Structure 1
Amino acid sequence: MATNWKVDTAHSEVQFKVKHLMITTVTGYFKTFDLEVSTEGDDFSKASSIVFTADVDSINTNNEQRDAHLKSADFFDAASHGQIRFVGRQFEKTGDDTALLHGDLTIRGVSKPVTVNVELGGIVVDPYGQTKAGFTVDAKISRKEFGLTWNAVTEAGSVVVSDEIKLHSEIQLVKQG
């Protein structure tokens, strides 16, 4: 029998990191996102459905001008492509509490296979009787593979924005009744 899980957004975060001018790292977040998972009991290695979405308009890098640029056609093109979507296809255990999750990531209408590292923090029952599962999820992607190709060059010849994007999420799921 399928068990359904839904993200607890109050106890979860989705962030990305990118090198700026190749000397510092800028961190951004998606404030609005969703994740739904269907499993067999509490066994996430047998998930039959894993669907994550993030609202591009909710991007936040703590700089309104940069956020507006990221939402523009130069980057995510939020007006035409309002969501980022990841659909998990295969959960591959690599250790007792670690796994690789293979799936398809769609950004700007471009879908590519991506593998993310997943670490299970544990499954507990909270003080309100809800069963919760915690995960840390990490990955690296090439932004250019998804059509995010805007860049500029400094006087010294280095690029403004690196191609590699580091993704990091802390996810808490709530078992649905």
Structure 2
Amino acid sequence: MKKYTIDYSHSTIGFSVRHMMISQIHGTFESYNAELTVLDIEQVQDAKVSFSIIVASVSTKNFDRDVHLVSPDFFDADVYPKIYFESTSIEKLEDKQFAIHGDLTIKNITKPVIFTTIYTGSGMNPWAQEVYGFQAKSKIDRRDFNLVYNALLETGGVLISDEIDIVVDLEVNPV
């Protein structure tokens, strides 16, 4: 098994949620740690993937919203400072496409999730270092993790959708 490190300057853990049922709000987590070990980086079925995300690093490019997200109304970062993901199995779907099954833990609630993952390619960076790219996507229901804050709108509907889209873009390098 070979270990890979995340190139943080070329990687993103992002999410989006529908706001007022008319627009998408996008955010990222700026501070996280990830471990990837695998025998063959291009055929990842034997990989072990884990993430630890610092909740307080959430950024939606709106200070007041970010403060609200780390408050007890949402993530309650003082009590639950990290989000965790650990893969449990990986299956090949097609050439360069995989389903990464794993356990996602938010606010000490663990639920199974599946990330549809695409191996986006490899290359050599300007410093003669191998790089490999992946994009992983999943959808969760935030209520499953006790992220239940919401408000009803006068026009009908809700302020925040229950469905959260997660997109992880990774560039990794062998250690």
- If the length of structure 1 is used for normalisation, what is the TM-score? 0.94
Is 1:77 aligned with 2:69? no
Report matched runs for 1:27-66 at 5 Å: 27-42=26-41, 43-47=43-47, 49-66=48-65
Structure-1 separation of matches of 2:93 and 2:6: 23
Structure-1 separation of matches of 2:49 and 2:137: 16
Counterpart residue number, 2:116: 117
Give runs of ≥4 in structure 1 deviating > 3 Å: none
Structure-2 separation of matches of 1:139 and 1:44: 18
Structure-2 separation of matches of 1:123 and 1:32: 24
Could you tell me which amino acid in structure 2 is paired with residue 46 of structure 1? D
Structure-1 separation of matches of 2:20 and 2:106: 23
Residue aligned with 1:69, SS: helix
Structure-1 separation of matches of 2:105 and 2:112: 9
Counterpart residue number, 1:101: 100
Counterpart residue number, 1:67: 66
Could you tell me which amino acid in structure 2 is paired with residue 84 of structure 1? I
Q: Displacement of 1:174 after TM fit?
A: 1.1
Q: Displacement of 1:129 after TM fit?
A: 2.7
Counterpart residue number, 2:168: 169
Structure-2 separation of matches of 1:39 and 1:4: 7
- The number of equivalent residue pairs is 174
Structure-2 separation of matches of 1:126 and 1:45: 25
Residue aligned with 1:76, SS: coil
Counterpart residue number, 2:140: 141
- Larger mean CA deviation between 154-163 and 67-76 belongs to 154-163
- If the length of structure 2 is used for normalisation, what is the TM-score? 0.95
